Structure 1
């Protein structure tokens, strides 16, 4: 179903971006060359995508990625910028495959929520993985750059996946009652 952009949708997107930025400053773990486990900073973007759909979610995620770069810039190459910021965070919009609906929530709904979170954070992982292999292979030393980048990015994205999944699964039912 195609969604029409509305003032409410754009305002909600702005609020979710602001909330994500605030949550990104609450760090549980900070990786040495970037990346961190936060207090669920990706949840507002994924929640927005679940309410409004994949397209608006990808857009809001990409805008968040650009603002994230502006606030905490790490620039090496234009392609690295694209992979690490607007593309990586744009993938969070894929959580929109799990659309919120009023009514009873069953086991299938919870599986789709988890699948949406997995797909969105998995997309972000692949984007950071490619950036790591292409632009930051020197940090791998004697290790295979693919294995190093996989381990490095999984070190903070797997905990984020767990945190985001648990919180969104717990909040799904009450949040799905919010009127659009």
Structure 2
């Protein structure tokens, strides 16, 4: 095994661990009765996806999602719901790395913000589909399950995107080496 691959695997493990810690201990939860929270779990996944590429980011997110399911206090509704709400949703956060960063280029913040937003919206899509299919029964009488799922899921995904973007902005300014291009 070459050194670069070993370093990538180590970073995936470390960032996945940090992501699980953030989603477990540094989180706002309890406002959403069927699950959902605002946490910093997105940050280590997107950092890794910018550092090592989107594949490493997706693997890291997959690990975070699987571990979050194991630690979840919310019982699953259906096996496919588990896949959508945990491993797939968090794996999609690794797609932030689809936005390529170049060393020393101007506009890094905007590229990072675009990557975080793209990844967050893809995560939203996984939760949205899960909400339409399995949680529509919680919609208030007369409200479309589509509208309910959209409003419910955007109510925590949007703050998650905004908080993660703000943290990434601080990191770009104060610790740019954390997201240096290294693929």
- Asked if these proteins are the same fold (TM beyond 0.5), I'd say yes
Per the TM alignment, residue 29 of structure 1 is displaced from its structure 2 partner at its CA by 4.1
- 1:97-136 equivalences under 5 Å are 97-103=98-104, 105-107=105-107, 109-136=108-135
Moved more, 17-26 or 123-132: 17-26
- Structure 1 contact 102–176 (Cα < 8 Å) conserved: no
Quote the residue 1:170 is aligned against: 170
In the TM superposition, what is the alpha-carbon distance from 1:98 to its structure 2 partner?
3.3
Shift of 1:21: 1.1
Equivalent residue for 2:161?
Answer: 161
Deviations 1:11-53 (A, max 9, x none): 1111111111111122234322100112x12100111111111
Q: Is the 8 A contact 2:16 2:64 kept in 1?
A: yes
Q: State the alpha-carbon separation in 1 of the partners of residues 161 and 121 from structure 2.
A: 9
Where in structure 1 do 4 or more consecutive aligned residues deviate above 4 Å? 177-180
- Give TM-score scaled by structure 2 length: 0.87
Shift of 1:60: 1.4
TM-score by length of 1: 0.88
Residue aligned with 2:65, SS: helix
Structure 2 portions without partners, runs of 5+? none
Q: Residue 51 of structure 1 contacts residue 99 of structure 1 at CA under 8 Å; is this kept in 2?
A: no
How does 1:54-73 map onto structure 2 within 5 Å?
54-72=54-72
Q: Deviations over 1:130-178 (max 9, x none)?
A: 0000011100032111111111111111111101111112212342458
Assess if the C-alpha contact under 8 Å between 1:101 and 1:176 holds in 2: no
Equivalent residue number for residue 84 of structure 2: 83
Cα separation, partners in 2 of 1:176 and 1:128, compared to 1, 3 Å: closer
Q: How many residues align structurally?
A: 174
